[in-house]
Amino acid sequence: MSSLLLKSAKILDSESPYHLKTKDIFIEHGVITKIEDKLEKADRIISFEDLHVSGGFFDSSVSFGEPGFEERETLSNGVVTARKSGFTSFLLNPNLNPITDTNSSVKFLQQQIDKQLIDIKPLGALTKGFDGKNLAELYDMQMAGAVGFYDFKTPVADANLFKIALQYVKAFDGLVFSYPQDKSIAGKAQVNEDELTTYIGLKGMPNLAEELQIARDLYILDYTGGRLHIPNVSTKASVQLIKKAKARGLKVTCSVALPHLFFTSEKLETFDSKYKIFPPLRTREDLKALKKAVRDGIIDMLTCDHEPMDEEHKALEFENASYGSIGLESAFSVVNTLFGVEKASALLSKPKTKFGLETSKIEVNQRADLSLFNPNSKYTFQKQHIFSKSKNSIFLGESLTGKVFGSIYNDSFYEN
């Protein structure tokens, strides 16, 4: 497809001179060549009711299943799911089989990705096979294209190893991810420790399990220097620890998963395994603190924490069910429902700069990297809205506002 024309699109991009203006946008060979009040001709004209457009959505934590767990999700279907959901770029977690912990495994993923259709950046494992004992091929993986190092949802218990990792990657400006959980405190608990979960008889983990690990990591970061990303923060005190670290000038960023901004542990009263996620759903006080931290910019980014799980492992009694929820398809609607369209579009499109990734403005002579949506459409999220192979969405049955029409990346348009 050589040319596309978006008709009457309200532009949401604070860095663009057309921010909050409604314009026609002409795209030729993957580049925005005209933005005017009225344009007429193109190979394909795209027109939707109440069309809004922002920079392409980005997510810092997406899991697929290929290679190794194709029954959960394949790379090709995952790309279609992301594009139809408005995402043009994301970080791909290394929790595959084999785990992405070598130069060759990063190169393999890069070879499978059609860079004309989507911008996927692999994360490499921090330790070999997530063993927490031996550092993986960090430098070699970064040279192959990995943008950070993360033992997916597996905390690094060895403080000295964590220190060495931060010191080592400084030489090539590498980024270490550290999952915030102290396993010795968390034990085998599966839910938050609070009054409700104690009442219904589920073994709970205290907030301390998260906060102790974050405090340790930040103390070590202060000693070593370097760059640290803390994914999936979920408690009020975690936010305060990170706020103080940023005030001291430490190079630390963090994310929060969307379910922790939308649900509390009160949902567990039903024992429905769709609410079994990691970290667990917290209290209303934590949720309010997390939302405030997003508005204040202490939390740098949101993640849908897309983690497909096949029905065989998810549709079980709560104690035996696997953790995880998909989230790409519902992400914009959830963020728009929570924060409104201007904030939502910024939260979903801007954070890629935190990882040093290229962004495009909605401006003439810029590469086309766009998400298309109607922020006012109301609906109930159901299985018919899911494109993933797996259907394990925590948001099934929720009333949401905002419908994604699709995305444009280079000269390809994926329509929802």
Q: Are 121 and 90 in contact (CB under 8 A)?
A: yes
- Is 305 annotated as catalytic? yes
For residue 160, give both structure tokens.
């000295």
Q: Are 71 and 310 in contact (CB under 8 A)?
A: yes
63 vs 110: CA distance, rounded Å: 15
Q: What are phi and psi of 360, to 5 degrees?
A: -125, 135
End-to-end CA distance of the chain: 18
Distances (CA, A) of 219 to 133, 140, 150, 248, 350: 20, 28, 19, 11, 28
Nearest CA-CA partner of 262 in 299, 294, 288, 297: 288
Nearest CA-CA partner of 257 in 325, 343, 342: 325
Q: Tokens 């906060």 sit at which residue?
A: 211
DSSP 8-state class, residue 259: H
Q: Are 212 and 185 in contact (CB under 8 A)?
A: yes
For residue 104, give both structure tokens.
């060759």
Q: Are 234 and 287 in contact (CB under 8 A)?
A: no
Q: Tokens 């405090």 sit at which residue?
A: 215
* 3-class state of residue 271 by DSSP: coil
For residue 161, give both structure tokens.
């190893």
37 vs 44: CA distance, rounded Å: 18
* 3-class state of residue 256 by DSSP: strand
Distances (CA, A) of 351 to 67, 72, 106, 322, 375: 27, 27, 23, 29, 20
Q: What are phi and psi of 7, to 5 degrees?
A: -100, 135
Residues 214, 251, 118, 127, CA torsion sign: negative
Residues 334, 339, 341, 344, CA torsion sign: negative
| Catalytic-labelled residue, pool 59, 101, 305, 411 | 305
Q: Active-site residues: which are they?
A: 305
